[in-house]
Amino acid sequence: MSALTFTLKAANNRNIDCKKLIPDYLQGKSIDAISSIVLGNQTVADVFDVQGDDATTLIFKNTTPQLHYIGYRMKTGSITIEGNVGDFTGAEMQGGVLICKGNTGERAGDTMRRGILLIEGNTGDYCASNMRAGTLGLLGSTGAYLGYGMKRGTLLLSQNPAEQATWLDCGLHTLPFLNLLYQSFQTLDTKFAQFSNRRVRRWMGDVSGLGKAEILVLQA
């Protein structure tokens, strides 16, 4: 079986709501049924070339920042985005693995509950806003208001974010737990699979609310 692949048709330049394109919704559906799924006022066939037959593993190709809500509320399986995408990537995720090899727009991982969201590029503002739990890894830069209202969960960053008054510095640590986290990355096709550094600076926040979330910034 090959991954179910959605390749964006070049002609498209409208915003597209991809909420329905998650493994949980697509499993058991034929290519024809998937092609006729309505995304806003267009069908999948209007927007994407669809190939493959394994709906537990989705790939988005030729992507643009007009694609929003990829991985929204996904519970199982995996999604790989091979480019830049728009807002709310991985929003309200409840499980599974979502990998973005490019940049995301605003509010990536918003209100995420479970699962792993790995972004190899940069993110826009309000990344991980209101996040409940789960793990969000980020190789690139972050926008403003990182982890705004974040309650629990882990942000793993390779670059220092801008300091915020509602995130408290808990110092430098070497965490054995990160071995476990990195092992869960090892079968994934992502740069995160190369991670081995367990030395991090730990921040806790967002203390304007519950304040049980953490930002781990990898140290050189």
Binding site for another protein (CB under 8 A): 95, 97, 114, 116, 133-135, 152, 154, 173-177, 179-181, 183-184, 186-187, 212, 214
What tokens does 56 get? 């537990």
Shortest spacing between CB 23 and another protein, in angstroms: 13
Residue 185's H or E segment, with its range, is helix 177-185
What tokens does 213 get? 């979330």
Shortest spacing between CB 27 and another protein, in angstroms: 15
148 touches 78 (CB < 8 A): no
In terms of CB distance, is 103 or 111 closer to another protein? 111
Shortest spacing between CB 182 and another protein, in angstroms: 8
In terms of CB distance, is 30 or 196 closer to another protein? 196
In terms of CB distance, is 159 or 183 closer to another protein? 183
In terms of CB distance, is 8 or 213 closer to another protein? 213
Shortest spacing between CB 211 and another protein, in angstroms: 10
Shortest spacing between CB 44 and another protein, in angstroms: 27
Shortest spacing between CB 119 and another protein, in angstroms: 18
Q: C-alpha 212: how far from its chain's center?
A: 20
- Give long-range contacts, CB 8 A cutoff, 24+ apart: 164-169: 164/205, 164/206, 166/205, 166/206, 166/207, 166/208, 166/211, 167/203, 167/204, 167/205, 167/206, 167/207, 167/215, 168/203, 168/204, 168/205, 168/207, 168/211, 169/201, 169/202, 169/203
In terms of CB distance, is 8 or 97 closer to another protein? 97
In terms of CB distance, is 87 or 206 closer to another protein? 206
* Rounded (10°) CA dihedral 124, 129, 135, 137: 20
